[in-house]
Structure 1
Amino acid sequence: MSQALLPSAVYVPETSPPAGGTPSGAKPKILGAAISVPAESYSQSEILDRFGITDERVRSVFLSGSIERRHLVLPPDGPDGTPLIEAQGALLAKHRAHGVRLAAEAVRATLKEVGADLADVGYLCCVTSTGFLTPGFSAFLIRELGLRHHTGRLDVVGMGCNAGLNGLTAVTGWATAHPGQLAVMVCVEVCSAAYVFDGTMRSSVVNSLFGDGAAALAVAAPGGAGTAGPAGSASGPEVLKFASCIIPDAIEAMRYDWDEQHGRFSFFLDRDIPYVVGAHAETVINRLLDGTGLRRSDIAHWVVHSGGKKVIDSVRVNLGLSRHDVRHTTGVLRDYGNVSSGSFIFSYQRLIEEGVVAPGEHAVLMTMGPGSTIETALVRF
């Protein structure tokens, strides 16, 4: 393997934090998580019927992917009873309007879970890949939620399904440098704003897979004089380490680009991407665990991105995981489809709600996306 294909690893600082940072050895922690989805939910058959899809090849793609339902913001019906064709401007407006609403709901729910107020948020990171806004979602959310005008913010745009862990890297870095203060990351993906309905197999694969939704995490590091509330106690799993792997030879395998024929952006997935991701999964996990004294068998919980049935199976086989290990990954895929960058938070929330984690256990968070890229994080409960 060439040097360009080797994964990188990033550690959350254990000692010698930046000035004003956490005490030596203190780690930022995930305090809580919440999700938000559109009210409208559709089975795969209902989507096919609504758009009048009779092509057996397309129907097979929809009905064979282990997805039962997805929450989507589909276009209204026109005079002829069929869904209207949305121009690119309408899709961008959908991305903004529904994205702000879903993200705000997820942030509010997360803060309620951890017992924090909107005024407690010191940093906001917004992640999205299903549209483009300037200013980004962070600015609109500060206005929508009434956050403090001096709230630190970051928008991660266009990195794809892996981007939730890229955002978490930034959020934990900020939390480490600001002990006792609350940081929030929200992944908001209105995937229905990136659909092209043209009956081709390329479009059908994408249209059969992605769902709409938002998911948020609250993060804080222990410390800070006089800090009270959730940021002060900082209960939750510690974020120990990150590791990344980009596969430049597969840079075109997943992409969101301009479709000249349809006059809008569209997403493309190469049919071989599950095998590309799976083939590199072991390398990046080995790098993540390197120096920790842990083996893969020591990892009690796996929170893997719900990228699709073939992607999940490829990762599972290459890492030697059981179906039980990825039960929440497959469950989220079944109930929501691929919710892009927020998918791993949907699975993480299910793991927490299941109530099976024990103090001292380790978990791996894993996302995959364009680049082609694999992002991972190691956490300890």
Structure 2
Amino acid sequence: MNVKITTVTKLTPQYSRTTTEIIPFLDTWLQGQEPRFIKKVKKIFEQAAVDKRYSIMSPEEVFNQTSFEDKNNIYIREGIKLATECLQLALKKAGWQPQELDYLITISCTGFMIPSMDAYIINTLNLKQDIVRLPVTEMGCAAGISGIIYAKNFLKANPGKRAAVIAVESPTATFQLDDFSMANIVSAAIFGDGAACALLSSQEDDEGPEIIAEEMYHFYDSTPMMGFKLTNSGLKMVLDVDVPKNIAQHFPGIVHPFLAKQGLRIEDIDHLIFHPGGKKIIETVELQFGELGKNIDETKNILREYGNMSSATVLYVLERYMERPTGTGELGLMLSFGPGFSAQRILLKW
């Protein structure tokens, strides 16, 4: 019994700005800071390899004093809307009806709501009353692949079923106006908002790349490396400067043993479907694979066009590969990193 990813669809929020358009807002935000510091911050934005980013809030809202409650209310309102519309687009693309879904996974780490996002989607789209629902939170950028792993395990145990994995993230809603730390600045420079939906199936007639293998990999004693600290003003970014270095140290253990279990080497992989964590992480990955003639061009393209949208971003990369002509038997390696610290891996076969 095979589990396949049949469809991937993305959806961006209503607001967008290029990096060039964001710079004047930095002048206002950094007013009163040392000129040398202001110059450094602008340089971080300009060299982040992000040309454009989308947001659930206008730049005026992002760069004004907005309370945690106000930002979270926007996150709830816009997040539910994005998730619902993105699922509708995916269902239409696949030719499925809402009532044909058996399992619904919603992913987000950039805001809070109880009941979770999936409850609202069930009511709005009148999904079946016995649908199994799973909200995935607090896993950050890694969760896009985590959600697919959870869906795959459900479908493997339940042949003939269908699942939807929806990731909706709004890192701009976590921006801290009173925080001039490098973590907050780098986060603002590389992150953007977005939504994506992947549909999976264990029905024989449904088509798409098959999930051959999946595994998680946990870095011991690395919990302080990345995450959010809950403060009175909202979610404050935690981002260790050594994240790229730690990834580089673990990289051989993340990739090669996973492939070896399937009798494969990295040379056998046709498509590298990697989460674009940021410019430095991309450079780290390229150093690992460049000599093998492999590239992560689509990963770089997504970062440039949208920024890092946390859990949704790897699905944007996957959509690019789902939409291009792919030969039968070609292999794809999906990889993402997130708080914990952890790496998530999936092996696909077309």
Regarding TM over 0.5, the answer is yes
Give the alignment of 1:20-169 within 5 angstroms: 26-51=1-26, 52-53=28-29, 55-75=38-58, 77=60, 83-169=63-149
Structure 1 contact 75–86 (Cα < 8 Å) conserved:
no
Question: Is 1:171 aligned with 2:151?
Answer: yes
Structure 2 contact 104–163 (Cα < 8 Å) conserved:
yes
The corresponding residue for 2:311 is 341
Give the alignment of 1:352-367 within 5 angstroms: 352-355=322-325, 357-367=326-336
Give the paired residue count: 341
Distance 1:205 1:310 in 2: 11
Question: Is 1:292 aligned with 2:292?
Answer: no
Structure 1 contact 75–85 (Cα < 8 Å) conserved:
no
Structure 1 contact 30–238 (Cα < 8 Å) conserved:
yes
Residue identity in the other structure for 2:57: L
Which has more helix, going by share of residues?
2
Distance 1:292 1:105 in 2: 37
The corresponding residue for 2:209 is 237
Residue identity in the other structure for 1:220: S
Distance 1:373 1:291 in 2: 19
Residue identity in the other structure for 2:126: G
Structure 1 contact 122–181 (Cα < 8 Å) conserved:
yes
Q: Single out whichever of 321-330 and 154-163 deviates more from structure 2.
A: 321-330
Give CA-to-partner distance per residue, 1:60-84, whole Å, 9 cap, x none. 1111011000001335748xxx943
Distance 2:85 2:298 in 1: 22
Shift of 1:122: 1.0
Shift of 1:48: 2.5
- What is the TM-score when the length of structure 1 is the normalising length? 0.85
Residue identity in the other structure for 1:59: K
Distance 2:168 2:93 in 1: 19
Distance 2:18 2:187 in 1: 16
Secondary structure of residue in 2 paired with 1:183: strand
The corresponding residue for 1:253 is 225
Alignment RMSD (CA, Å): 1.8
Give the alignment of 1:216-235 within 5 angstroms: 216-223=197-204, 233-235=205-207
Structure 2 contact 64–177 (Cα < 8 Å) conserved:
no
Question: Is 1:214 aligned with 2:208?
Answer: no
Shift of 1:318: 2.5
Shift of 1:138: 1.0
Residue identity in the other structure for 1:326: I
Structure 2 contact 217–343 (Cα < 8 Å) conserved:
yes
The corresponding residue for 1:312 is 282
Distance 1:118 1:37 in 2: 21
Structure 1 contact 98–190 (Cα < 8 Å) conserved:
no
Give CA-to-partner distance per residue, 1:28-64, whole Å, 9 cap, x none. 0000110011121111121221342561111011110
Structure 2: gaps of 5 or more residues: 31-37
Distance 1:243 1:161 in 2: 16
Residue identity in the other structure for 1:135: P
Q: Percent of aligned positions with the same letter in both sequences? A: 27
Secondary structure of residue in 2 paired with 1:287: helix
Distance 1:154 1:268 in 2: 26
Structure 1: gaps of 5 or more residues: 1-25, 224-232
Structure 1 contact 161–370 (Cα < 8 Å) conserved:
yes
Residues 344, 323 of structure 1: alpha-carbon distance in 2 compared, 3 angstrom cutoff: farther
Q: Single out whichever of 180-189 and 275-284 deviates more from structure 2.
A: 275-284
Q: Single out whichever of 342-351 and 46-55 deviates more from structure 2.
A: 46-55
Give the alignment of 1:258-277 within 5 angstroms: 258-259=230-231, 263-277=233-247
Give CA-to-partner distance per residue, 1:209-239, whole Å, 9 cap, x none. 111111110001134xxxxxxxxx1211110
